[in-house]
Amino acid sequence: MIATVTNFGGSLGIYFPNSLLKNVHISENDNVEILAADNSIIIKKLEKRKHFSTKERIATFHDSLENNPFIETDWGKPLGKEIW
């Protein structure tokens, strides 16, 4: 497939045919990552991140505390007028 780079206001762009976008499962408003490598441009679709409810976030945080509890750190004796 050959495309022509065209002027879009102050930027350059390329129109992608719908058939091409359907083949790579990219639709309108999808987020993509654009990379430059070896004199090429690579466009990758970003997977949609799941939205977690507050309840799910708290449960995940609680689980992480059980697996990695906070460890008290001894910073030594006060050097100035610190009050503990």
CATH of the domain at 17: 2.10.260.10
- The pTM score is 0.52
Which structural domain range is residue 12 located in? 1-68
* 59 is a domain residue: yes
| Residue 15 located in a structural domain | yes
84 inside domain? no
In a domain, 79, yes or no: no
Domains: count for the chain: 1
Q: Which segment, 29-33, 49-53, 63-67, 70-74, is predicted with the most confidence on average? A: 29-33
Three-point CA angle 34, 37, 32, nearest 5°: 10
Tell me, yes or no, whether 82 lies in a domain.
Answer: no
26 burial level (CB within 10 Å; 0-12, 13-18, 19+): middle
5 or 57, which is more confident = 5
Average pLDDT estimate for 2-26: 93
DSSP 51: P
Is 58 inside a domain boundary?
yes
